[in-house]
Structure 1
Amino acid sequence: MPTFRKAQPLAWTYHRGSARVLLETPQTTSAQHGPGREDPTAPWIPLPPGVPIDAPLTDLIRERVSCRAFRDRPLGLAELATLLRTGYGVTGVTDGGPVHIIDRAPPSAGGLYPLEVSVLVRSVDGLPAGIYHYVPFADGLEQVRDAAVPPALVSRLFLGQPWAAEAAVVLVLSAVCERSLTRYADRGYRYLLLEAGHVAQTLVLAATGLNLGAVTLGGFLDDELSKLLALDTESEIVLYGAAVGHPVTGSRLARRALDRL
């Protein structure tokens, strides 16, 4: 069997290039929290109060399943608000005298929170179809595109996965690389991936607690999806996605829809 190095030389190069070894002093700097990509001229939608999730964590872990079969039923705006706040929202403020910390849902290397969340909306009550950008500190959405994205295009952008186009929403996680790499150099790229994983897992567990179906999306056309989301690909990169909607009724196997893979 070929070694990792020989079988996947690009992956190997990345892994070793961002490795740390004994006695090495990595070049890091004290980074400041960079600004988000908010657009003050964009139409603004404040988020309503969310929907409480009362299920124990152990139940959510046990019930979670990758759902690829969605009903044609809209999400409530309050449900979307809960997903966004749970996944990447502000959870509170820690005020310790000279230290003033804004708490967020997931762990983040250095507390830098380099991720951004975009929302492709197909069907949400009270929210026109289109594309939105979540602004955690203002607890709302700014509109990026005011028209529905054609389902065929959504499926194509996610490498032919039809469930991406059939879900009520697709949440897309992207990273502003400078926020992490300025401090952690090339190692910071690993932290971007780790953080996206933290957020995605929280999102799918929250969806489970809302009796929604969710499936993560790691395959997509990078440049085309970035262009649709109006991202500056020189500084912000798409990392991960999650399709969320009301699942079909029936067994866990029916929701998995393995015959569609």
Structure 2
Amino acid sequence: MALKQDPTIFVRIINGKLILWDYSSHSQYEIGHQHIQRILEISNGSAISNSSVDSDIANSGIFKEDGRDFKKWGWDCLSHIFHVGTQIVLDEGANLPVDDSYEGYVAYCASIIDKVPETRYARDGDPIALPAPDKHFEVVPTLADALMARKTSRSFTPSPVTLQTVANSLYWTFGAVHGDTRQDMREAGLLPVGYRRTSPSGGSLQPSEAYLVALNVKGLAAGIYHYRSFSHQLTLVTPDIDGETIGSLLCAQMFAKDLAFGVFVTSCFDKMWWKYPHSRAYRVALLDVGCLAQTFQLVTTGLGLDSWLTGYFLDREINKLLAVDEMRESVLFFFGAGIGNGTPFAPEALRALDRMRERQRGSSE
């Protein structure tokens, strides 16, 4: 039997016990110190014996080769665990599925219906009314025009935008555009769960939440606000924010200080745990944000704004700023918008390039 020299496993201490996790097969085993010692020895070329410990290891299949060359993986082990561990596995020797399994799916949904989470997420605080959204995208009037005009900008001028513009950006990206309940589900004889946005969402759960970062908005004090998607309102989270702080939180992407506004997008994992208990659902959370990101860029382009996205930031510091329980809700992305000159190159990056060229010219003289 061919053996993997580096098995796809990790070990965690859970409730005072050593738990070995084979993330390629989604299997878990309680082990002892003697198992760890033998796993190390087998990884270094020792033959599998007939001992009870070795039999446990052999029967687990953790060393069984599956034909993939994991040494080709270009990132670290954490990303490898996520990539492999969240795949859906076809059992060895099993045929491809042909039964759509809807009866089983309906039965599963019925079994968890008494545990439906609250999908209409509202932070505490007095609601602040936003201007009613409108469909006036005069600057870029068609979808084709918006697709062609959309590009990333990293150079903004500290110019204000109207609260109406912000309201439109939030509503057409995150708003409950079809109402705050799923009438189509009700009409089909189903319990309505969730609501619909302009972007698709796994299970209609809408786990992504929008936190408006108002930096230069006419008619709205600077601060971070939670956007109540289902009612098109804001609630203040903190007034303690400015452009310099935002740039620092975004890992010193300091051009962000001149944004008119931005949006921290979080994911409420507890919404998804209810319906999708497998870790693969984390992929769905990321895809949910990705769909919203493209919608935001098309909407802001249609409104005549420049936009920029980033996933590079200090997660824990932002979660603290948003006052969220990061084991249930965590920031995943940042959207920024404002008035810019349309260039994807950060001013400081261009200045650094000029300095480098100047040094090169000096050394060649």
TM-score category of the 2 structures, normalised to the smaller one: 0.7 to 0.9
Letter in 2 for 1:17: G
Alignment partner, residue 39 of structure 1: 123
Deviation, structure 1 residue 180: 1.4
Distance 1:64 1:73 in 2: 20
Distance 2:197 2:117 in 1: 14
Alignment partner, residue 153 of structure 1: 245
Instruction: Give the conservation status (yes or no) of the 8 Å contact 2:158–2:258.
Output: yes
Alignment partner, residue 84 of structure 1: 170
What secondary structure does 1:199 align onto? helix
Q: Say whether 1:164 aligns with 2:267.
A: no
TM-score, normalised to structure 2's length?
Answer: 0.64
TM-score, normalised to structure 1's length?
Answer: 0.88
* Seq. identity, %: 28
Distance 2:272 2:147 in 1: 30
Deviation, structure 1 residue 127: 0.4
User: Which protein has greater RCO, CA pairs closer than 8 Å, 6+ apart?
Assistant: 1
Distance 1:192 1:95 in 2: 24
Of the three residues 80, 87, 111, the one matched with 1:19 is 87
Moved more, 228-237 or 95-104: 95-104
The superposition leaves residues 149-168 of structure 1 with CA deviations (integer Å, 9 ceiling, x where unpaired) of: 13332111101101222101
Alignment partner, residue 131 of structure 1: 224
What secondary structure does 1:92 align onto? coil
Q: Say whether 1:114 aligns with 2:207.
A: yes
Alignment partner, residue 63 of structure 1: 149
Point out where structure 1 has 5 or more consecutive residues left out of the alignment.
Answer: none
Alignment partner, residue 104 of structure 1: 197
Moved more, 119-128 or 42-51: 42-51
Deviation, structure 1 residue 103: 2.6
Distance 1:135 1:105 in 2: 15
Q: Which has the higher strand share?
A: 1
Q: Say whether 1:180 aligns with 2:264.
A: no
Of the three residues 48, 51, 54, the one matched with 2:131 is 48
Deviation, structure 1 residue 172: 0.8
Alignment partner, residue 192 of structure 1: 285
CA change 1:191–1:117 in 2 (3 A) is: same
CA change 1:4–1:213 in 2 (3 A) is: farther
Deviation, structure 1 residue 36: 4.6
Point out where structure 2 has 5 or more consecutive residues left out of the alignment.
Answer: 1-69, 98-104, 350-365
Alignment partner, residue 332 of structure 2: 239
Instruction: Give the conservation status (yes or no) of the 8 Å contact 2:161–2:217.
Output: yes
What secondary structure does 1:237 align onto? strand
Letter in 1 for 2:263: L
Distance 1:4 1:259 in 2: 37
Distance 1:3 1:210 in 2: 47
Distance 1:211 1:6 in 2: 39
Distance 2:219 2:129 in 1: 11
Would you identify which runs of 4 or more consecutive aligned residues in structure 1 move more than 3 Å? Answer: 2-7, 28-31, 93-96, 98-102, 258-261
Distance 1:33 1:235 in 2: 13
Q: For the pair shown, which has the larger CA radius of gyration, 1 or 2?
A: 2
